Structure formats: structure tokens, C-alpha cells
Amino acid sequence: MSGEVVIIGAGMHPWGKWGRNFVSYGVTAAQEALRDAGVDWRDIQFVSGAATMRCGYPGYVAGATFAQALGWQGAEVQTSYAACASGSQALGAARSRILAGQADVALVIGADTTPKGFLAPAKGERPDDPDWVRFRLGITNPTYFALYARRRMEMYGDTQDDFARVKLKNAAHGLANPNARYRKAFTMEDVAASPMVADPLRLMDICATSDGGAALIVASADYARRIGKGDAPRIAAISTVTPTFASSVIEMPDIATDSAVAADPHSFRAALPRKAYAEAGIGPEDVSVAEVYDLSTALELDWIEDLGLCARGEAAGLTRDGATRIGGRIPINPSGGLACFGEAVPAQAIAQVCELTRQLRGEAGERQVEGAKVGITANQGLFGHGSSVILTR
């Protein structure tokens, strides 16, 4: 079929706290993706980079930075920044170029080197910046994750043990993933013994920040067929919608929600997959595997419900019953998720798609979801940035 864009290569640099320049992680990931695709770097016509804000000017122009590092060869470049959704926007840019007939094959790439501890705002006294305001009041990223987690406890009766079970499950998945940073089995006691960061979330409920890099080679279906990859996983949808006013769930870094006096209240998280399902022409019942943004253990439960994989309030039960494990009814985060990776912001959404690519090709080894045909990702970042990508095969 023409008019389709497929993923013919995926590559990653292992996640960790390596302390090296982010460019080197991206180069490793790109080379692996090119080898996986069987495409020569000089044949890449478009480089779509996801930016990092923490590595200076080369990070702001990541597309060009990676193109230079791989050896200038005259490709067109673009750089996208959308917080946690940067990788999906970069993927969307590449897809648009290919659908417009302006390129046949493109590299989508993101990498990051992260500092230790809490993410903090830019310096200076800046009360006009909501990010500065919330940190002045002592409201960190885990504050928001914890407000959502506590809300689940109050609304649905979820417990801290329910959240810990997500950690145990993801840790078990990540054991078999050579690209995961944390490959260690956890017990309920391990989680309960970790320090409380933002009640009810403990250190082992909250994802770390990591170094890492991920890359995809995307191509028109015609190009893929020409190089013998006609059965490559297809991009069925990319959703990067904004929230709809009145956005009624308190969102990082805001200090207040929209007012729903003159407009109906809307949930941003739920809107992201809704558009993806509509674009792909499928529904939650068609999904075989999902990679969701478990910034916290409890947030994975919210995502399962936002993706429509169960009714509101039922995700903890689903996890208790083992349905979200590999081998269960609807495996969630077979890669090990952010629990095992930690977040490398511009690489993370791309890494989610790398995992789905391997799953849909049946090449995920010990963490393979049997017969995976449809995979969906979901993530959300700072105010109004989120994404959901669907691959089918």
C-alpha cells in the first residue's frame, strides 16, 4: 500500500548514568537502527531530532548535532522539542515528510545526559514562569505524581501495595531487557522499605532520570518493499493533541487548573489515545501490548484506564490478577517501563516505539508478548505535551 509509513529499523544505547556526552548515545543508537534496517547512513534523506534542554546548544539543535556526528551527508534536518513527547513529535515530523513525498527514508533520534536528583527550573527570580512559581512553593515533579496516586486511593480504594505490584511486575519484565538501566527483581518488602518521597509514593515508586539514546529508521512502504522489508510494522497513528479547555486535572507545572465555569471539564491523558484510536481505526479491544509512561507506579494504573484497557478504577485489580504481565491478557510495559529505564526525556518516547517494533516483529526474546499485532504507547510531559503512537503489523 502506498500512503503508509513503516518502521524498518530500531536501535538503542543502553540506559544508565554513564556521564558521557549525549551525542555519543545517539550515535550508538543510530548506528544500531541503521544496521537493523540494512540502510546506509548516506541514504538517509531526513534527520528528525528530539531536543534536550540540559546539554547546551548542541541539544537545542539535536537534529543537526546528530547529523554532524554521523558525518554530514547533505540530509535535511529538523529538531522538535515537546518535553516527554519530543520523540513522538520528531516521529510525526518524519512521517509527514514521507507522506508528503519529500523523503523516502528518515532517521528519528533522541538522546540525553541527565543531572542527579530532582529536575529543577532555570535560575533567577521569575514569578512569570509557572515552573519557577511551583518550585518556590516546594512543588516538585513527584508532588504531581503523588496527587494523582492519592486521588486513586481516595476514589477507588487503591493501596500502596497495589502501586508496589506495578514496580514488581515492571522489574520482572526489565530483567530480560539488556537496554534497561535497572535489572533487579523487587519484593513488596523492598518497595515498602524505600524512603517516602511524596506520600503515598516511595522512592521505588518513582522513576529516576537516566542517560540514554534511541533511534528509528522510518520509510515509505514502497521504499521498505524495495529493500525487502514489506512486512515492517506500520505507523497506524501518532497523536500529539493538546488538552481541551477546560483542562480539569492539575498538570505540571501549573499551580491551578482551568476553570470549568464556562466549558465542560476535560481530561488530557484520556484525550491522547482517543485521537490515536480514531486515526488508526481501531479500539482498545484490538490492542495486544502497551508501553505507557510510568513516571510513577500509580500513573501506570491511570494510563491503563486512559487507554480504555479496563474501566475506571479497575487497573489495580487487573495488575493484582496478573493481566498486565507478559503472558497475561494485556501486557503493559514489557520493556520494564520507566521503572527499569528511568527517564531520558528526548529518547523515551522513541524507546517506547523501539520496544513495540521489536514486539511486533516477534523479536523481543524472553519478554516477547505472544502474537503481538497491535501496540500502543502513551506519554505525557510538561503542560500540554503528550503523545500516543499506534503500530500495527
Task: Kindly list the residues in this chain that would bind other proteins in the complex (CB under 8 A).
Answer: 117-118, 120-121, 123, 125, 127, 132-140, 142-143, 146-151, 154-155, 195-201, 245-246, 248, 250, 255-263, 265
The amino acid at residue 181 is R
Shortest distance (Å) from residue 130 CB to other proteins? 8
Q: How far is CA 295 from the centre of its chain?
A: 10
Rounded Cα distance between 324 and 388, Å, is 19
User: Closer to other proteins at the Cβ: 107 or 149?
Assistant: 149
373 by Cβ neighbours in 10 Å (0-12 / 13-18 / 19+) ranks as middle
Q: How far apart are CA 204 and CA 184, in angstroms?
A: 12
Q: Considering the complex, state which of residue 129 and residue 286 has its C-beta at the smaller distance from other proteins.
A: 129
Among 325, 289, 334, residue whose Cα is nearest residue 309: 289
Cell, residue 9: 529499523
Q: Least distance to other proteins from the beta carbon of 250, Å?
A: 5
* C-alpha angle 211-217-221 in degrees, rounded to nearest 5: 155
Residue 32 backbone phi and psi in degrees, to 5:
-65, -40
Burial 138-149 (b: 16+ CB within 10 A, else e): ebbbbbbbbebb
Q: What is the closest distance, in whole angstroms, from the C-beta atom of residue 137 to other proteins in the complex? A: 6
- 231's CB contacts (< 8 A; 6+ apart) are 393
- What's the burial of 165, exposed, middle or buried (CB within 10 Å: 0-12/13-18/19+)? buried
Shorter beta-carbon distance to other proteins: residue 255 or 311: 255
Q: Least distance (Å) from other proteins to the CB of residue 123? A: 8
- For residues 346 and 110, the answer to whether their CB atoms sit within 8 Å is yes
Q: For the CB of residue 260, give the shortest distance to other proteins in the complex, in Å.
A: 4
Distance separating alpha carbons of residues 147 and 145, to the nearest angstrom: 6
Q: How far is the CB of 355 from other proteins (least distance, A)?
A: 30
Instruction: CB nearer to other proteins: give 17 or 151.
Output: 151
Q: Which is nearer to other proteins, 150 or 361 (CB)?
A: 150
CB of 200 to other proteins, least distance (A): 8
Question: Of the two residues 77 and 241, which places its CB atom closer to other proteins in the complex?
Answer: 241
Of the candidates 194, 196, 151, 184, the one whose C-alpha atom is nearest the C-alpha of residue 299 is 151
CB of 33 or CB of 197, closer to other proteins: 197
Q: Which residues contact 363 (CB under 8 A, 6 or more apart)?
A: none
Q: Closer to other proteins by CB, 19 or 195: give it.
A: 195
Shortest Å, Cβ 338 to other proteins: 19
Residue 152 C-beta: closest distance to other proteins, Å: 9
**Considering beta carbons, is residue 188 or 263 the nearer one to other proteins?**
263
Retrieve residue 281's grid coordinates: 481505526
How many residues are listed for the chain in this entry? 393
What 3-state class would DSSP assign to 323?
A: coil
CB of 143 to other proteins, least distance (A): 6
Question: Rounded CA gap, 84 and 184, in Å?
Answer: 25
CA torsion 82-84-86-89 (nearest 10°) is -90
